[in-house]
Amino acid sequence: MSNFARQGYSIVFPLFLFFSAIFCMSTRTNNLLHLSILLLLLSLVRQENRQALAGVLREQWQTWTLLAAFFIYYALSNVWGHTPQHIDSPITHGVYLTGYLLLMTMLLRDGRTRRLAMLAVVGGITVLSLWTLIIDHTLVLTERAVSPENPGPTNVIDLAGYCGIGILICGMLLKEKASHWLYLPVVIMLVMLLLTQSRGPIIARCWRSAVRCTCTSSPAATC
C-alpha cells in the first residue's frame, strides 16, 4: 500500500505541476494537489519512507524551521490585525504550502522523478504559451492582455514570468543531460516572453546570459 502511494504521488504530483501551469485557480487542478498530499501521507506508513522524509528534514532543518516560523507568524498576524476569525485561512495555506514543498523536495531528490517534475512544469508552460501565441497573439501584442477564454494568468507580466521560469528550468535540464529537443520549448517560451513586452523577465534573461558568457570566457571566474 505504501509503495503504491509513493508511486502514486510520483505521478499525480507532476500532473498537478503540468496542469497548474496551464489552468490557473482551477478546482480540478487543485484536487490533484490534495490527492498528492494524501498519497504522501499514506506512503509514510512504511518505515523506510518515514526515514527518508526525516532525513530530508534533518538535512534542511534551517529551511524548514524558517518556513515554520513564517507560517506561525503569518497565522498570528490575524490576531493583532483584529481579524482572529480569519486565522483558519493562513493555517490552511500553510498546510498546503508545506505539503507542496515536501512533495517537491521528495521528487527532486530522485533522478527520475526530478526530471519528470521539471519536464511537467516546462510542458505546461509550453502548452500555455502555444495556446496564447495561436489564439491571443494580436491581443497580447497590441493591448498586452489576453482573452477571457485564456486558461492562464490574466496579467501578461505573470505569463512572462512563467516563461522565464520555464526557460530557466530548461537550462537546468540541459546542464544535467543534453537533450537537443529541449531547445524547442525554449524558443516557444522565449517568443512568448518577448511578445508580452515585459521588461523584468527579459532583463533578467539578458543579465543571466551575460553572466554566463563572462564565466565561460574567464576560467578564473567563479559563478
State the residue for C-alpha cell 537537443: 180
Q: What is the pLDDT of residue 177?
A: 84
Q: What is the pTM of this model?
A: 0.84
Of the spans 70-84, 159-173, 197-211, which averages the highest pLDDT?
Answer: 159-173
Q: Are residues 97 and 115 in the same domain?
A: no
Distance CA 10, CA 214 (A): 38
If asked whether residues 171 and 86 sit together in one domain, one would say: no
Q: What is the pLDDT of residues 68-85, one digit of tens each?
A: 999 888 888 877 777 777
Domain match, 66 and 145 both: no
Which tens digits make up the pLDDT trace of 116-138?
Answer: 999 999 999 999 999 999 999 99
Q: Which of 109, 141, 165 is the last residue in one of the domains?
A: 109
95, 120: one domain: no
Is residue 129 within 8 A of residue 188, CB to CB? The reply is yes
Same domain? For 105 and 155 the reply is: no
Domain that includes residue 84, residue range: 1-109
What's the total number of domains in the chain?
A: 2
